[in-house]
Chains A and B, each alone.
Chain A
Amino acid sequence: MDLNGDGHVDLLSGSYSGEGLDEMAGLFQVLWGEGGGIFKKPQVLKGTDNENLIIKPVVSGTTPQRERICTRPTAVDFDADGDLDLVVGNFEGSYYLFRGEGEGKFSPESEKIMRGDKPLITGQHSDPFFVDWDQDGDLDLVSGSVQGGVVMVENLSGEGKEIVFGGSQPLVNFPFGKAERWSDEAPSPGDSTRVWVEDLNEDGKLDVVMGDRSVVLSAPEGMSRQEAKEGVRKVEAEFNELRKTLLTQPSLDEVKAIQEKLVQMGDKRREFMNEKRTGSVWVYLQK
């Protein structure tokens, strides 16, 4: 989007946490565009008070710090006043609004976005993207999450009015994919999804473009895939049995010992596999 209205598209990014802060909090980084695909180096986006824009969590039963990290800011005219605002997702899965004042300026006050009288939460690592999904003239919210998949939250307000959120609808269900697979298994979408919506094949229907995180496993050198899979299976069976003992109300010392064994089992599991961690981009063409 053209954040400062100078006719050139700008790049906006969140971050896990900023440098030099007293506690973890994701700042918003902007690469001001100069046209033709040329951008300036990243700069921290500041509010009209000339301080770094940062979420000021509303303490309402959530963990405030989780709402400040792993931010994902998106520019949208949320209040239909003609200026771009920022809607920011975060680790907790909630959303915060920074109202725009035009030309890339934003109020430093963050407002927690509600659905009715409750905070709007769609899944950890909320990932706001706005598009008129249901084609009723106003912008709906589409989001990925750490759990995977994609959800759409309907805007009930109508064209030209401040967004008001209604019901949710899953667009992509994660159970159809898994984040970890062996290298000779067919690829499938993973978790930690980030979303873009576009009519990619220009058939008049909106499609979903989804980034993910996945882990591809392979057998270590000198071990067959069958041996590796069997090794992993045995360790996981022991792991699950050990976890069940946590339900028997053991003492604190016993809990500590069990947790140490669980960590060791994680290490042992990795003896039977090489892990390749990566991210892909998946396309869901709407029928």
Chain B
Amino acid sequence: MKKFPYVVAALVPLSSGAVDFEKPYQLKGGEAVIELESPGYAAPALYDLDGDGVKDLLVGQFMEGKVMVYKGKGEGKFAEGKPLEAGGEVVKIPGVW
């Protein structure tokens, strides 16, 4: 196991409080709040998948390891989601259960 070249202060918080954010809100897919299949465990990622200059939203979930894709509409808005497909089939990441 490699150790890094110098010891640093461990576990000393940089500041006592959290960052100042606006009140959090839930992202929507179309008109509906994104709510994944039971039991949930949403894992989001943003990337311009279709190359239209607008980032799309991908959300992995626990149930069957599916990945929901929400096309970006700009200004932080997204269309209704659909499962990611590969080879004509819905992607189900193995070993996610």
B40 with A26: CB separation less than 8 A: no
Q: Which of A13, A114, A171, A172 contacts B93 (CB 8 A)?
A: A13
Of A194-202, A229-237, A238-246, the one contacting chain B is A194-202
Check B20–A281 contact: CB distance below 8 A. Answer: no
- A interface, how many residues as a size bin? 35 or more
Interface of A is mostly: strand
Taking A15-B96, A19-B95, A278-B36 as contacts, is the C-beta distance between A116 and B21 under 8 angstroms? no
> Are the C-beta atoms of A212 and B4 separated by less than 8 Å?
no
> Are A211 and B95 in contact (CB-based, < 8 A)?
no
- A212 to B24: give the CA distance in the assembly, Å: 13
Q: Which chain B residue shows the least CB distance to A25?
A: B95
Residues of A within 8 A of B7 (CB): 116-117
Flag if A281 contacts B26 (CB, 8 Å). yes
A112 contacts the other chain (CB 8 A): yes
Selected contact of A281 from candidates B4, B59, B62, B97, CB within 8 Å:
B59
Q: Chain B, interface size: which category?
A: 35 or more
A18 lies within 8 A of chain B by Cβ: yes
Instruction: Please name all residues of chain A whose beta carbon is closer than 8 Å to the beta carbon of B4 when the two chains form the complex.
Output: 114, 162, 164
Smallest CB–CB gap between B19 and chain A, Å?
Answer: 5
Binding site for B on A (CB under 8 A): 9, 11, 13, 15-19, 26-27, 29, 31, 36-42, 44, 58, 72, 111-112, 114-118, 154, 156, 162, 164-173, 187, 189-190, 192, 194, 196, 198, 200-201, 207-214, 276-287
